[in-house]
Every structure is written in C-alpha cells, then in structure tokens.
Amino acid sequence: MKIGVKYCGGCNPTYDRIGIVSKIKKYICEGDSIEVAKQAIIYDIVVILCGCSKACVNHQDIEAKYEKICVTSESDIIKLATIIDKTRVL
C-alpha cells in the first residue's frame, strides 16, 4: 500500500501532525510506504493533514486510487486506521 500525506500550511495547528504520521508508520505493514504526497503519483490512500477544523489545504492536485481522508484532529486516527484496514483487503 502506498500512502501519500499532504500537509496544510500549519498556520493554526491544534494537534501534533507529525505525531499522527508516526502513528501511521507504526500501524502500516512491512512493505507499505508513506511519503509526502506529490503530483503525478497515484497513491492508494491520501491523508490530508489539516492542523485545524478549517481544513483549508488545497489537495485537488493529489490523486488517490481508493480514498482521501481529511484529518483535522487526533481522534481522526481511528477513522484513518479503519480506511487503511479496508484498503488492505482490496
């Protein structure tokens, strides 16, 4: 599985976005990858890491094969884990 991460500008972060990425790295399987999302690459999952609930980061130029998920708080890690598990079986 290939996961791309798109960060917001970080103007008003209300949680530790780097901490979320660390948790994702611990959760994914060996052989899976996670990287800063780039244009022209299609990821299985794209994680949009928004520092606050405004979720104003532009991510239209980043493509996901299965799903994009917008993370606006640490509690969204549960939703993200569910999506990773669901995608793993596809």
pLDDT per residue over 38-80, tens digit each? 999 999 999 999 999 999 999 999 999 999 999 999 999 999 9
pLDDT average, residue stretch 18-28:
95
pLDDT surpasses 90 at 89: no
CB atoms within 10 A of CB 40: 7
pLDDT score recorded for residue 20: 95
CA atoms in the 13 A half-sphere facing the CB of 44: 16
pLDDT score recorded for residue 31: 94
Mean pLDDT of the chain: 95
